[in-house]
Each structure stands twice: as C-alpha cells, then as structure tokens.
C-alpha cells in the first residue's frame, strides 16, 4: 500500500483530484492509510495551506471516501450550559473544545443589533 499512498500524495500535491478519486475507489482502505511519517492523507491536504492546487476538492474527495477527521464525540449541549466536542489528532492526543451554548431565544435588540 506504500506505493498507493505515495501515488495519492503525489495526486494531492499536484491537484490531480481525478487520480486521487480513482486510487480511493481501487483501494478504499487507502483513505485512512498513513505513510512513513505516520501522516494520514487528509493531513497531507491541509498541511501546507495555499501550496496544494485544488486542496478543497482533494479534501472533499477524501471526506466522501470516509476519511477519519478525528471527531470522537459529536458536538453536544451539556446540561451545565456548554457545547462540547472531542477530537483526536494524528498522534493520538484527544482535545475537548467547549463554548457557551448559543441562546437562540435572545432578542436581537439585546445583542446590540436592530432591524
């Protein structure tokens, strides 16, 4: 699979989304494969922002093929008033993101905006 992984990275680097889709179709487990540097393909796409042509299309192809984005617990509202979700990075570290639960009942005049 190493040569398939390298071919997928080459397709990502060159913006050849069609080849990337073909490789993913031929070998579905490639979508979450990791190369010698232990880097998943999705991270290859976003690792060097602005330097990979058609990066958004490559990311979409990987997501549609089932790339693991690391979400371990979906966003949820907790009873103590926070919205939380948990992700795992490629090294296995877990992160919890929290923020206040948006109050959909807030009157716009209270938020400082008006019609």
DSSP 36-105: TT--BHHHHHHSSTTSSTTHHHHHHHHHHTT----EEEEEEE-TTSEEEEEEE-TTS-EEEEEEEPP-TT
Number of domains, the chain: 2
Q: Residue 104 pLDDT > 60, yes or no?
A: no
Mean pLDDT of all residues in 64-87: 87
> What range defines the domain where residue 78 resides?
71-103
Q: Are residues 14 and 47 in the same domain?
A: yes
30-46 pLDDT, tens per residue?
999 998 888 889 989 98
Q: Are residues 53 and 6 in the same domain?
A: yes
């Amino acid at each position: 699979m190493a040569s398939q992984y390298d071919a997928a990275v080459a397709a990502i680097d060159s913006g050849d989304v069609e080849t990337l889709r073909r490789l993913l179709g031929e070998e579905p487990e490639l979508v979450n494969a990791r190369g010698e540097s232990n880097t998943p393909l999705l991270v290859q796409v976003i690792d060097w922002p602005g330097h990979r042509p058609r990066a958004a299309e490559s990311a979409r192809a990987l997501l549609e093929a089932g790339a693991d984005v690391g979400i371990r617990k979906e966003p949820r509202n907790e009873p103590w008033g926070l919205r939380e979700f948990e992700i795992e990075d490629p090294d296995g570290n877990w992160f919890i993101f929290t923020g206040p639960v948006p109050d959909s009942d807030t009157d716009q005049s209270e938020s400082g905006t008006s019609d």
